[in-house]
Structure formats: C-alpha cells, structure tokens
Amino acid sequence: MWLYLVALGGLWTLLRLIRERQVVSHLQDKHVFIIGCDSGFGNLLARQLDRRGMRVLAACLTEKGAEELRNKTSDRLETVILDVTKTESIVAATQWVKERVGNRGLWGLVNNAGISIPVCPIEWMNKEDFAKILDVNLLGMIEVTLSMLPLVRKARGRVVNVSSVMGRICFFGGGYSISKYGVEAFSDSLRRELSYFGVKVAIVEPGGFKTAINDRHSSIIKMLWDQASSEVKEIYGEKFLQSYLQTITSLVETCSEDLTWVTDCMEHALTSCHPRTRYSAGWDAKLLYLPLSYLPTFLSDAFFYWSSAKPAQAL
C-alpha cells in the first residue's frame, strides 16, 4: 500500500516538473513592464529578463536608478520614471508603454514597487503612517494594474504581484501586512476574472530578504517612540523598546542576500506555459511562516506571544 502511494507521489512530482519546464515561445518578441526597478527584486529581474532577450520596460522612481540600470543592461531595455502614488505619473507611463508595445499588447506586468516603513506597535502610529504604505503597496498597485489591463488582455499575458509571507500571517504592527493582505485579495479576484480572457495572475510571497525596503527600520521606530504620548511610553516601557529594536535588527540580519530566490519565481511566472498561482520564496517562507499561517489561530498566537517582547504593563 505504502509503495503504491510513494510511486504515485513520485509520478505526480515528475509530471509537475515536466509541465512547469515548458517555456512560452518567442520570448524575444514579448514586452514586460516592471515597477520598482531602482534596486532590489525589480532591478535584478529587469537584468535577468534582459539577458534572456526579452523586451524589458523598467519603471524607476528616480532618474539615478534608471541610469544605473541602463548602464548594466542591453539597448533593448528601456526605462521610464514612475511614481505609483500619482495618477498623472501612471497615465504618462501607460501611454509610454502603449507606444512601445503597439498592437502586440503587453505580455507581462510585474507589480513590485513597495515600502515597509514604519513597522512598529499600532499605538505608536497615526492614520498617515498607514496611508503612506497603502498608497504605494496596494492602492498604487491597483491603479497601475487597472491602467495596464487593456494592454495585458490584448496579449493574453501575465500579471505578477509581489506580496509577502506577511500577507499570510501578520507578526508586526503597521501598514505593511495590511497592504500585503490586500494584495492577496486583489490578486485572487483578478485571477478569477481575467481567466476568461486567457490572462494568468501569479502571486509571489517572499520571506525575509535584504533589500532597500529593510533600511532605516530602527531609526524610524525610535522617532515614533519619541513622538509617542507619555501614557504610551509608560505603558510599554523603555525595556520593551530596546527588546523590540533588537528583534527587528535580528530579523533583518537573518534575511537572505540571495534575491534570485524571488526573481527566479517571477521569471518562471512570466515565461512558463503553466505558471503557478502562488510562489513562496525562501526557506523561512516555506518552513516557518507559511506553515504557521495554516495552524489554528490560538497556536500561531501563542507562538508570537511567547517569542515576542512584552509591554511593561502587560497582564
């Protein structure tokens, strides 16, 4: 009995590998628009796809980032300046993309732009702190997608949205997890609706990786602590602040520097005939965070409760 089950599992794995290795034809004729290419995942993906011969349209926030990317790639790659929080910038970028793809449409849209600061206890923040992250990570992504959808539908192409393991399970306060939960929900509904038109939507859920998004966490947390009311400071205590800072620092230090874990998932979602619905990137995502997200809530709550710092006036 067990032998049959093992054989069946091995056969299923083999068939899945063969299926996922089938590559889309004529990649050199396909355009991919990538957001957030100044650094990190977007920058590396742009260079990967350029080396593969695809026509990369890279959106950067700054001219400096765009120039540095152009210096590292072929003449095929083109750049545009895009701020996803500004409608006029999105409209201009969409027109720029239309002029380049023509009647072929846009094969791939990669929503990669994101910020994470601030990450801290909710009581230390105000509405603007949440809105700042949501404007980039969620609302900006939605507006760019809506603007580009006619071009993607024309090509029967792909949409790749970068979420996070924190879109599955939340273990820090702030707007980052809220935005990534929103990315998950938006991507699910988008995938089902666009399936009627032959468009495929994939979600990439990275674990911890060292990118520019992790910079300045400690300094921002200290600033918010300084701005907090005397009541909040008394309730949480200086000891909690130091423990919280140490936890953040330790997590950032343990993040992987190998960004290809993520960009390889993105590349597969764009080039495979049969892309996955979800990609988990990183051993921490596969072995810790995603399994935690499937546990009963009281067990995952207990894990975070006993492994995290406690406020001075905690029960």
Q: What would the DSSP string read from start to end of the chain?
A: -HHHHHHHHHHHHHHHHHHHT-B-S-GGG-EEEEE--SSHHHHHHHHHHHHTT-EEEEEESSHHHHHHHHHTS-TT-EEEE--TT-HHHHHHHHHHHHHHHGGG--SEEEE-------BS-GGG--HHHHHHHHIIIIIIHHHHHHHHHHHHHHHT-EEEEE--GGGT---S-BHHHHHHHHHHHHHHHHHHHHGGGT-EEEEEEE--B-SGGGTTHHHHHHHHHHHS-HHHHHHHHHHHHHHHHHHHHHHHHHSBS-THHHHHHHHHHHHBSS--SEEEESHHIIIIIHHHHHS-HHHHHHHHHHHS---TT--
Asked if 176 is an active-site residue, the reply is yes
Q: Which candidate in 176, 236, 244, 279 is catalytic?
A: 176
Residues involved in catalysis: 176
